[in-house]
Amino acid sequence: MPTTTTLLLAEDDAILADALSAQLQQAGFQVEHAPNGAVAEYLLLRQPWDVAVLDLGLPMVDGLTVLRRVREARKPVPVLVLTALDSLADRVAGLNAGADDYLTKPFDFPELEARLHALLRRSRPAAGDIGLGRLVFDRQARRATVDGQPLELSPREWLLLELLLNRREQVVTKDEIVQAWAADGADPGAAGSIEVFIHRLRRKLEDSGLSIRTVRGLGYLLEPDSARA
């Protein structure tokens, strides 16, 4: 596990939080601790995280409320709920609120670590894929999905998305788009038609966590929705 794997630990028990933070850091996670639900919600909504461990019994804002708000904001971070509440109803409530896994206290650290690794494997794209926001772009299979659902893309839309992904968070000019279409054998058409394909692609990416921004006089920029907040 590389040390750049970021983990938010939302736990109000200071002794448990200190012990878990130390063990998680030793296991290769970069850990930040949130001592209450308000801090956890703020950090989850405003920073990117590879994974989060969320206690349900948090003060100020309870863990279920935090989880629901994070999912309503379409944040794709995998969340493992950690709680002393172990009834079936509690587990169902946590999963229905958007938890990816559920672990009850007391627990053994090796099990927590194994569950976190499993969440990370499921959330990260396979080698060679591009994962950004809720989108996974598989060049080999020429397949793009959002939350596992395939995007129906025309050849020119596919090339346009590939170019924007390759140059993500950089401006792509209309000339570069025309050149990419021509190099792949697609009819580049008139430069004005690019706006039509940008509009179509924007609509198809609405639920992906990504936006295509027009940079007036320069071109187009693919960026996470959070960058526009």
Whether 74 and 168 map to the same domain: the answer is no
Q: What is the CATH number of the domain that holds 203?
A: 1.10.10.10
Lowest mean pLDDT among 67-76, 160-169, 189-198: 189-198
pLDDT of residue 51: 94
Position 75 pLDDT exceeds 90: no
Locate 183 and state its tokens: 């190099």
Residue 31's beta-bridge partner residues? 7
* Count of other CB atoms within 10 angstroms of residue 187: 9
Whether 35 and 18 map to the same domain: the answer is yes
| Distance between CA atoms of residues 116 and 12, nearest Å | 20
Kindly report, residue by residue over 40-62, the tens digit of the pLDDT.
999 999 998 989 999 999 999 99
Full domain range(s) for residue 224: 129-228
Whether 57 and 166 map to the same domain: the answer is no
Whether 94 and 140 map to the same domain: the answer is no
Residue 74 half-sphere exposure toward CB, CA atoms < 13 A = 13
Whether 119 and 133 map to the same domain: the answer is no
Whether 108 and 151 map to the same domain: the answer is no
Boundary residue ending a domain (79, 106, 123): 123
Give the CA angle between residues 146, 31, 165 to the nearest 5°.
Answer: 30
pLDDT of residue 202: 95
| Distance between CA atoms of residues 225 and 29, nearest Å | 26
Kindly report, residue by residue over 77-128, the tens digit of the pLDDT.
899 998 887 777 777 777 788 888 889 888 999 999 999 988 887 766 665 6
How much is the pTM? 0.58
Whether 119 and 137 map to the same domain: the answer is no
- Across the chain, mean pLDDT equals 86
15-24: list long-range contacts, CB under 8 Å, 24+ apart. Answer: 20/53, 20/109, 20/112, 23/109, 23/113, 24/113
Whether 9 and 108 map to the same domain: the answer is yes
* Sequence letter at residue 79: V
Whether 118 and 135 map to the same domain: the answer is no
* Sequence letter at residue 159: L
| Distance between CA atoms of residues 44 and 83, nearest Å | 18
Boundary residue ending a domain (91, 123, 155): 123
Whether 145 and 191 map to the same domain: the answer is yes
Select the highest-mean-pLDDT range: 97-101, 142-146, 185-189, 199-203.
199-203
Chain centroid offset of residue 66 CA: 17
| Distance between CA atoms of residues 110 and 108, nearest Å | 6
Q: What is the CATH number of the domain that holds 106?
A: 3.40.50.2300
Residue 96's beta-bridge partner residues? none
Boundary residue ending a domain (100, 123, 146): 123
**Total tally of structural domains belonging to the chain:** 2
Position 146 pLDDT exceeds 50: yes
Whether 15 and 82 map to the same domain: the answer is yes
Whether 209 and 143 map to the same domain: the answer is yes
